[in-house]
Structure 1
Amino acid sequence: MALEGPVTIYEAAALRDAFRDALADRQDMRIELEESTKWDLAGLQLLISCVRTARADGRSVEVVNVPRGCAEAFQRAGLAQWLDSITVK
């Protein structure tokens, strides 16, 4: 799946539904972030929840092409190491 545009509280409901649909497929996940722009805490929480849910279900998750804004948001939240642990470079 690919995230495009802002990943903020304003998109939270639509993002939650997109993640829910992707998780319903019960397949390993690859999340493309290259086209995502602004991130806030709600966006971080949704991504973390999606990854944790998939992993709890025994699936692997790869996050690719993390833009600077996303990486900076994770850094400010003290979660840079977590992001690094799931990012494919």
Structure 2
Amino acid sequence: MNPGGPKTVALDGPVTIYEVAGLREAFREALAEGVDLQVELDESTKWDLAGLQLLISCVQTAKADGRSLVLAKIPRSCVEVAERAGLSDWLESASQKD
């Protein structure tokens, strides 16, 4: 684990099917560092199900490797996609607890 706390990764702009491939590579690099991650989403804008699926995959990958990936500062647009997909409980479980 990372004794200094998790590494923070911030997403900005849209997180849709059009951006997922590039974001996946950025997450792959961050996860390869072998540290816990905190992903801040407050600067992200438009979301769709592909963006939410990417988050789910990243959280599962980190967990499978014995690390954590926690979501923070979740914008309403992401929450709405999760609600429509029936994934509100998952999003809450993956979110930073204040």
TM-score for both structures, normalised by structure 1: 0.96
Asked whether 1:19 is paired with 2:33, we answer no
Q: What is the aligned partner in structure 2 of residue 46 from structure 1? A: 54
Write 1 or 2 for the structure with the bigger share of strand: 2
Give the drift of 1:62.
1.3
1:60 matches 2:68: yes
Match of 1:8 in 2: 16
Q: Which residue of 25, 37, 41 maps to 2:45?
A: 37
Spell out, residue by residue over 1:12-44, the C-alpha distance to the aligned partner (whole angstroms, 9 max, x if none): 111111110111111001000000111111101
Q: Aligned match of 2:88 in 76, 80, 86?
A: 80
Greater Rg over alpha carbons, structure: 2
3-state DSSP class of the match of 2:60?
A: helix
Normalized per residue, which structure has more helix? 1
Cα-to-partner distance string for 1:39-77 (whole Å, 9 max, x where unaligned): 111101111000000001000121100000000101101
Structure 1: unaligned runs, 5 residues or longer: none
| Structure 2 residue ranges without an equivalent (≥5) | 1-8
Over the residues paired in the alignment, what is the CA RMSD in angstroms? Answer: 0.7
Cα displacement (A) at 1:82: 0.4
Q: Give the total of aligned pairs.
A: 89
Alpha-carbon distance in 1 for matches of 2:49, 2:26: 18
CA contact (8 A) 2:58 2:69 kept: no
